[in-house]
Each structure stands twice: as structure tokens, then as C-alpha cells.
Amino acid sequence: MKKITRFVGISLLSLLSLPALASLNIFATVPEWGALAKEIGGDKVSIYTATTALQDPHRIEAKPSLLAQARRAQLVVANGAALEIGWLRLVVRDSGNSAIQSGQPGYFEAASQVAMREVPQVLDRANGDVHAAGNPHIHLDPRNILRVGEALTARMGELDAANAEAYRANFTAFASKWQAAIVRWENEAASLRGVPVLVHHSSFVYLSAWLGLKEQGKLEPKPGVEPSSGHLSALLERQKSTPARMVLRAAYQSDGPSLWIAGKAGIPAVLLPFTVGGTVEAGNLFGLFDDTIQRLLKANR
């Protein structure tokens, strides 16, 4: 009995001491911001990413594992713009962690650092699952990554002053590499300008705006509403007069609707990683954009 008590005591103590290993515990809601925090933080931070690229970020629940991680976090890096509205507020509130409450330095939202697209003029759920703040999938414009990175670097430095210099140096190095990559991507993707495409959900608004893709239709009749056969047939009919070159979907979206329309219209159905981890090649932020552009170019040939 004594042994058991000692064992339990030691394991409890070791559990308690775990968060002390890294200097800054970061809870990132989605993979792209986890990856960006990693670029800035390097080995000075410990990052928990709450979701994967294969999960629909709108459909996450306040799982016990998320509560446990939020409890130990010093910084929550959220996307914002109501992307995590279903679960993050609940997790943050129930975590009992005063550092990460909304309004505290330990709560960071990426979307408030960039200019939003598709901000609805009318807020009515008859229009589907609209986000009042605008389309939340901001990360697929690489220039937004820089803007968010700059603010995140400042925030991480504020929370962990001892490593602020290291964060700034990491970000400066990342930013110059990233700017060079943007130029390269823009050159590579020049032939994509004006290419008409169909998309499953409005996941690629920022990507399309950056590369000049022309989004001609969405497989979802309304945001968040499942593609219906009637809507898909109408899209196919439109294909005759204004043909799209390809149909895009994110790794977490079901392939059925885009494969159907691709088969009928004789155009390629393109799976895009959408975020870090969405494909094998999209292992980090650079890989995410490299792979996205390669896949688009391949489909456009």
C-alpha cells in the first residue's frame, strides 16, 4: 500500500512538473498558427495544436484533452473571426486558466491582424453559416502569414521577455526567407492568374485573391450547408457557358461532390492541403504553399 501511495505521489508530481520543461506553453487552435509559432519560438516553446488538417475547424468539440491542454497553456493562438466559436470560448472559460482569457496577453487572435475578406453586409442564417467578421480562412494568403507573424512575435516576446530577442531573430530570419518564397511562388503561379475554378467551401478566398484565381462557384449552396444534387447539377449546367478549369477542395472536405462534378465536367478535382499537415508534402508553412501551387499548376496543365 505504501509503495502504491509513493508511486501515485511520484507520478502525480511528475505530471505537475511537466509544463515547467519549456519556457512558453502555446496552445494553437489550428495547424497553420501552430507552425508559425514554431517558426518564431523554435526550441524555446512547447506547442500543442488542438486540431489537424484533416478536421473541419468549424466542427470541433470542447474535448477533455483540449481542456487539459488549455489549463497548462500560457498563450492561446487562435484564428479568430468566429472560426472556433463552437468550442474555444468554452475551453478557455472552463480551463480555469486566468492567463488565456479573452482580453489577456495570453490570448492571441490571428484574424484581427489582417484585412478581412467577404465581410457580410447582411447577417442572416438564412444565408448559411456566415461569419460576422468575414471569411476566417486568412492564412492562405502568404502576406497574411507575415502580418500575423509580426504581431505574434511581439506577443510572445511580451509574455516571455527572456526570449524576446530570440523570437525576434527567428522571425526576422523566417520573414526574409518567406518574402523570397512569396516572390518565387508568385512567379511560379503567374499562369494561374485568371484561371476559373470551382471550390467546395469558401476555404480558398484569400488564396484566390492572392494568385488571381477566379472562383466561379461553390459546391456548397450556402456556407456550411452540404452540397445538394440539385445545386451540383446547376453548377454543371453553368459549366457549359462558363467552364471552370478545376474544382478545389481542402484535405478535410469529403471528396464525393468534387469528384462527381469533376467526372461529369471532365476537369481535374484538386485536393489542396489547406493547412500544414493536409498532405505529406505540406509538412511546414513553406511546404504548404509549395505543394498548393504545385498541385494547382499540375491541374492547370
Partner 1 sequence: MSHKPFALAALLAASCTAQAAPDADLAAIRSQINEIKQSYEQRIAALEQKLAQAESKATKAETTATKAETTASKAEVVANEARLNVRQPQTSASAFNPEISLILSGNYTNLKQNPSERRLQGFIPSGGELMPEGRSFNLGESELVIAANIDPMFRGTLRLALAPDNTLGVEEASVQTLGLGNGFNLKAGRFLSGVGYLNEQHPHEWDFSNAPLPYQAFFGNRLGMDGVQARWLAPTPIFLEFGAETARAMSFPATDESKSKNGLMSASAFVHLGGDLDVSNSWRGGISYFASQPKDREYEDPLNGLNNSFSGSSRTWIADLLWKWAPNGNAKQTNLKLQGEYFSRTESGDLIYDTATTAQQGNFRSTQSGFYAQAVYQFMPNWRVGYRYDRLSSGSANFELINNGALPAAALPLLASYSPSRNTAMVDWSPSEYSRVRLQYSQDKSRPEATDHQIWLQYVMSMGAHGAHKF
**Chain residues in the site for partner 1 (CB under 8 A):** 12, 15-16, 18-19, 51-52, 54-56, 59-65, 67-69, 71-72, 82, 85-87, 89-90, 92-101, 103-104, 113-115, 125, 128-129, 224-226, 252, 254
Sheet with 107-109, side-by-side order of all strands: 45-49, 24-28, 75-78, 107-109
> Toward partner 1, which CB reaches closer, 109 or 290?
109
CA distance 34 to 47: 7
CA distance 133 to 42: 31
> Toward partner 1, which CB reaches closer, 65 or 294?
65
> Toward partner 1, which CB reaches closer, 6 or 63?
63
CA dihedral 168, 49, 95, 44 (to 10 degrees): -30
> Toward partner 1, which CB reaches closer, 151 or 181?
151
CA distance 137 to 73: 24
Which amino acid makes up residue 234? A
- State the minimum distance, in angstroms, from the CB of residue 34 to partner 1: 15
- State the minimum distance, in angstroms, from the CB of residue 122 to partner 1: 16
> Toward partner 1, which CB reaches closer, 57 or 286?
57
CA distance 232 to 218: 9
CA dihedral 30, 35, 36, 37 (to 10 degrees): 90
- State the minimum distance, in angstroms, from the CB of residue 66 to partner 1: 8
Residue 252, number of CB atoms within 10 A of its CB: 20
> Toward partner 1, which CB reaches closer, 15 or 161?
15
- State the minimum distance, in angstroms, from the CB of residue 254 to partner 1: 6
- State the minimum distance, in angstroms, from the CB of residue 238 to partner 1: 24
- State the minimum distance, in angstroms, from the CB of residue 162 to partner 1: 22
